[in-house]
Structure 1
Amino acid sequence: MSADTSSASVPGNPGGEFPRAFYEIIRAIDRFTDVTGRLIALTMLFLMVTISYEVVMRYGFNAPTVWVYESSFMANGSAFMLGAAYALLKGAHVRTDIYWENYSERKKGVVDLISYLLFFYPAMITFMLISIDDALHSYDTGERSQESVWRAIMWPFRATIPLAALLLMIQGVSEVLKCWYQVQFGREFVHREKIEI
């Protein structure tokens, strides 16, 4: 259940509690991440079709392909990386729960807020800067895969890494605002069920 964003709870009105702009930013980022996550999930259809094609060609016609292996690991790796922001939105990332359940909602918000500011953002910025250099180097040198005779171009695959970091940082803005809400009001902005993977 999401936070009450009725006119009574939005600060441009008397009795408001959280800036209207924060609600709008959270909603816009969450919608963006939801749409991109669903689009990225379509990669699984590509994987299903290509791997099925490979099975039929290999075992039905004794004519294996040279491109399915590489295209499937690149598609799966890209979906895994680019889907990380969607997983953050849904609360599917790993959390150590040994003490977490005993914390108050406000303390959970404080821990998360500090973690985002001190660990998440510095790590994502570093990750993005290093991976941008790798993707540019791959593009400049015309790097090709050595995994098969197909020799796929590598820079689009390498470019998914800085893009994944960017998508995570965008969703991180929404999560930081949700943490601020939790710290300020002692309740979750939106309740997320634990997701078992």
Structure 2
Amino acid sequence: MSSDTIRAAATDNTGDQFPRAFYAVIRAIDRFTDVTGKLIAMTMLFLVVTISYEVVMRYGFGAPTIWVYESSFMANGAAFMLGAAYALLKGAHVRTDIYWENYSERKKGVVDLISYLAFFYPAMITFMLISIDDAWHSYDTGERSQESVWRVIMWPFRATIPLAALLLMIQGISEVLKCWYQIRFGREFVHKEKIEI
């Protein structure tokens, strides 16, 4: 989201506004998520390079690698998990409510706010606590992959799960504040384009 959009939201003439800190928090979190999402997307370049290397080595020189398979599925899995907060920022998660389009903007804000507080945060906290324990156990035991003879250590891959939950919860703070804005003023804080699948 551009800072001009947030500045416009903060300075429009709709009566009582939220404090400047309200908008600053949204701006800081959204910027953080945007930057981390774009950095995580760079993982795809790693996948393109390593898989291309594997294809050339395997079919061009008859010398397949032992590390590309595992590194590619771990990089792809990590990017999928860590990119979830960026998808939340962009409104790319699937919404299955068939009545959603008929709701007023205030009602959408109320439904989203209740969903974040009653479902999203409890699920993310549980997800994070369980996965931290799993990642710590992997680190503590020196767990190694059984997928290939490379036998790569597993704890960095397992650590992406609690990190993904943390990134989602951070972006969730911004989304909760946007719901609050939507409830108070009866309009979206920033319009998110529908993503057709």
The aligned runs of 1:48-197 (5 Å cut-off) are: 48-197=48-197
Instruction: Provide Cα deviations, 1:93-139, integer angstroms capped at 9, x if missing partner.
Output: 01014100000000000000000000000000000000000000000
Q: Deviations over 1:32-62 (max 9, x none)?
A: 0000000000000000000000000000011
Taking the aligned partners of 2:128 and 2:141, their CA distance within structure 1 comes to: 20
Q: Is the 8 A contact 1:8 1:16 kept in 2?
A: no
Counterpart contact for 1:132–1:159, Cα < 8 Å: yes
Give the match's secondary structure for 1:17.
Answer: coil
Equivalent-residue separation in structure 2 for 1:54 and 1:8 (angstroms): 55
d(CA) in 2 for partners of 1:9 and 1:163? Answer: 39
Q: Distance in 2 between matches of 1:124 and 1:56?
A: 41
Q: Which runs of 4+ in 1 moved over 3 A?
A: 5-10
Amino acid at match of 2:27: R
Cα distance per residue 1:70-102 (max 9 Å; x no partner)? 000000000000000000000000101410000
Asked whether the 8 Å contact 2:113–2:179 carries over to 1, the reply is yes
How many pairs are equivalent? 193
Unaligned runs of 5+ in 2: none
Residue 20 of structure 1 deviates from its aligned partner by 1.2
Q: How far apart in 1 are the matches of 2:181 and 2:43?
A: 35
User: What is the match of residue 5 of structure 1?
Assistant: 9
Structure 1: gaps spanning 5 or more residues: none
Instruction: Write the distance in 1 (CA, Å) between the matches of 2:106 and 2:160.
Output: 35
Deviation at 1:19, TM superposition (A): 1.9
RMSD across aligned positions (CA)? 1.5
**Residue 47 (structure 1) aligns with:** 47
1:196 Cα deviation after fit: 2.7
Contact conserved, 2:10 with 2:23, CA < 8 A, in 1?
Answer: no
Rounded to whole Å, the distance in 1 between the matches of 2:183 and 2:169 is 20
Distance 1:100 1:70 in 2: 41
- Contact 2:84/2:164 (<8 A) preserved: yes
Instruction: Give the CA deviation at 1:16.
Output: 3.8
Q: Normalising to structure 1: TM-score of the pair?
A: 0.94
* Counterpart amino acid of residue 177 in structure 2: L
How far is the alpha carbon of 1:18 from its aligned partner?
A: 1.7
The CA distance in 1 between the partners of 2:153 and 2:129, in whole Å, is 21
